């Protein structure tokens, strides 16, 4: 499972952090969410997770008001 996140469009609402705090944190620098231990590819931040972490991150994606979090099977 891969999470992709378009950070530059983040509005810092904290919905992802509330749903999956082990994967998401709000940056003290700019107030936007950050996907922990992710790698950047272009404008996207990517992270591989296992299926046990799917539910929390699916809630994070569903709760995101700007819909910038995606989950896909790899």
Residue 70 near residue 62 (C-beta atoms within 8 A): no
Length of the chain: 74
Domain ranges of the chain: 2-72
Residue 33 near residue 7 (C-beta atoms within 8 A): yes
58-63: average pLDDT: 98
Q: What is the pTM of this model?
A: 0.92
As assigned by CATH, the class of the 2-72 domain is: alpha beta
CA 14 to chain centre: 10
Closest by CA position to 44, among listed 3, 6, 8: 6
Confidence band of 25 (pLDDT split at 50, 70, 90): very high
pLDDT at 74: 87
Residue 54 near residue 63 (C-beta atoms within 8 A): no
């Amino acid at each position: 499972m891969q999470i992709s996140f378009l950070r530059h469009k983040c509005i810092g609402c904290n919905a992802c952090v509330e749903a999956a705090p082990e994967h998401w944190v709000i940056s003290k620098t700019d107030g936007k969410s950050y996907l922990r231990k992710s790698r950047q590819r272009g404008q996207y931040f990517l992270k591989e997770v296992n299926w046990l972490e799917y539910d929390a991150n699916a809630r994070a994606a569903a709760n995101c008001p700007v819909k910038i979090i995606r989950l896909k099977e790899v």
